[in-house]
């Protein structure tokens, strides 16, 4: 496109490295019409896709000439890691895809012109590696459909083809996907929790459906400004909390259902001491503890100055199942004005907190969703109805 970023600005960036390139781009964008900008984004994406395919072709040629081995004493993936700053998995995947693309001339032809995305190239490379002879007979079809199918549609097309070519192997692959499932959940030294892993298609669909039921933007008020990752994190927490609160078959330990242990001096709860409480050794603020304590069993542990336990009391003041049912019937859902969160998303909140003398009775309880429950404990008040 004439006078676009692709045809003009990108070419001169290398010659003006001493200038503020971000300002250069912004200056150019400020003078573009909306249709020019959208066309430039599309063109830029095609250029990136084409460049990625051209990189694969060059890597395949380097690999064929054994340049990394003869000149640097490295494997091709090792060379990419060292000189191109690729991670190990990215480097090995690049080499594998490059070698496959070298054997798919029709796919390569369309890929280097930007007509097939990098994901499409990788998917076709995997299909070719599984069934090289059969892929050879159908490469022209795949090279064509990969130019217009979206990633999900292309994956489905390849899957159907693999079932026709070798149904037993395709069936076995579905089982191996289940075997490859894994989920890692660990706490960092900063106290945050990290997750990673791979979920098989069936389990992933179940998890996705459950999370989506709590993260659908249509279910939230217009003032909810949480990002989607934040909504996902909150949804996962809510699902786990709901299961613990409502499942009578939860495994028990020492006659007790699983619960969170919060270590906190009484003065912190009442706001008379500037110090943080702890959950499993990690600092949490007093209002977070007060929110957790709104609807949870509390066990009193009196300690001396060196935190040595002196006395352990009985669990007290949790909202009973009968109270909870009455609350759900009376309030119907979150009582924050304008909020439509259903009762299953809500906590039971003490209007006057129990540490301030509030009673655990319906007259002193309301339902609040997690967002608005947190807001109340952060000092905010619901708007007038």
Question: How does pLDDT run across 269-284, given as a tens digit for each residue?
Answer: 555 656 666 665 566 6
**In which band, very low, low, confident or very high, does the pLDDT at 317 lie, cut at 50, 70 and 90?**
low
Tokens read off for 43:
């063109």
C-alpha span between 78 and 62 (Å, rounded): 13
Contact call for residues 214 and 242 (beta carbons, < 8 A): no
Give the pTM. 0.55
Q: How many CB atoms lie within 10 A of CB 314?
A: 8
Between 141-155, 214-228, 334-348, the lowest mean confidence (pLDDT) is in 214-228
Mean pLDDT of the 71-87 span: 93
Contact call for residues 348 and 310 (beta carbons, < 8 A): no
Mean pLDDT of the 373-381 span: 83
Question: What's the pLDDT score for residue 158?
Answer: 92
C-alpha span between 294 and 234 (Å, rounded): 18
**In which band, very low, low, confident or very high, does the pLDDT at 146 lie, cut at 50, 70 and 90?**
very high
Token pair 């039971």 is found at: 348
Question: How does pLDDT run across 321-340, given as a tens digit for each residue?
Answer: 777 888 888 898 889 887 88
Mean pLDDT of the 248-264 span: 51
Token pair 């489905």 is found at: 156
State how beta strands 182-187 and 193-198 pair.
antiparallel
Question: How does pLDDT run across 196-222, given as a tens digit for each residue?
Answer: 898 888 788 888 888 888 877 655 566
Backbone angles phi, psi at 209, to 5 degrees: -65, -40
Give the H or E element holding residue 321.
helix 321-331
**In which band, very low, low, confident or very high, does the pLDDT at 7 lie, cut at 50, 70 and 90?**
very low
Question: How does pLDDT run across 30-53, given as a tens digit for each residue?
Answer: 888 888 899 989 999 999 999 999
Question: What's the pLDDT score for residue 357?
Answer: 78
């Amino acid at each position: 496109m004439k006078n676009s970023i692709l045809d003009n600005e990108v070419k001169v960036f290398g010659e003006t490295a001493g200038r503020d390139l971000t300002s250069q781009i912004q200056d150019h964008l400020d003078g573009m019409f909306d249709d020019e900008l959208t066309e430039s984004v599309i063109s830029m994406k095609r250029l990136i896709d084409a460049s990625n395919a051209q990189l694969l072709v060059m890597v395949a040629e380097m690999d064929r000439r054994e340049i990394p081995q003869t000149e640097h004493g490295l494997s091709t993936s090792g060379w990419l890691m060292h000189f191109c700053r690729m991670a190990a998995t990215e480097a090995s995947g690049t080499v594998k895809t490059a070698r496959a693309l070298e054997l798919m001339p029709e796919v390569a032809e369309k890929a280097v012109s930007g007509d097939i995305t990098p994901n499409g190239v990788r998917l076709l490379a995997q299909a070719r590696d599984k069934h090289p002879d059969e892929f050879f007979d159908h490469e022209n079809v795949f090279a064509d459909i990969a130019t217009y199918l979206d990633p999900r549609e292309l994956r489905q097309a390849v899957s159907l083809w693999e079932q026709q070519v070798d149904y037993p192997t395709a069936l076995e692959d579905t089982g191996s996907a289940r075997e490859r499932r894994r989920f890692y959940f660990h706490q960092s030294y900063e106290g945050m929790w990290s997750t990673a892993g791979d979920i098989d298609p069936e389990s992933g669909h179940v998890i996705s459906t459950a999370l989506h039921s709590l993260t659908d933007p249509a279910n939230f008020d217009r003032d909810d400004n949480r990002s989607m990752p934040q909504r996902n994190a909150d949804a996962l927490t809510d699902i786990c909390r709901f299961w613990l609160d409502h499942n009578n078959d939860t495994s028990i330990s020492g006659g007790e259902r699983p619960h969170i242990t919060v270590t906190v001096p009484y003065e912190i709860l009442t706001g008379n001491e500037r110090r943080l409480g702890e959950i499993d050794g990690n600092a949490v603020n007093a209002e977070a503890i007060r929110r957790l304590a709104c609807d949870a069993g509390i066990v009193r542990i009196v300690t001396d100055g060196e935190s040595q336990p002196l006395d352990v009391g009985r669990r007290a003041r949790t909202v009973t199942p009968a109270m909870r049912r009455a609350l759900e019937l009376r309030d119907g859902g979150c009582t924050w004005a304008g909020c439509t969160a259903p009762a299953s998303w809500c906590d039971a909140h003490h209007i006057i907190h129990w540490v301030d003398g509030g009673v655990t009775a319906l007259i002193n309880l309301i339902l609040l969703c997690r967002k608005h429950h947190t807001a109340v404990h952060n000092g905010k008040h619901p708007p007038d109805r």
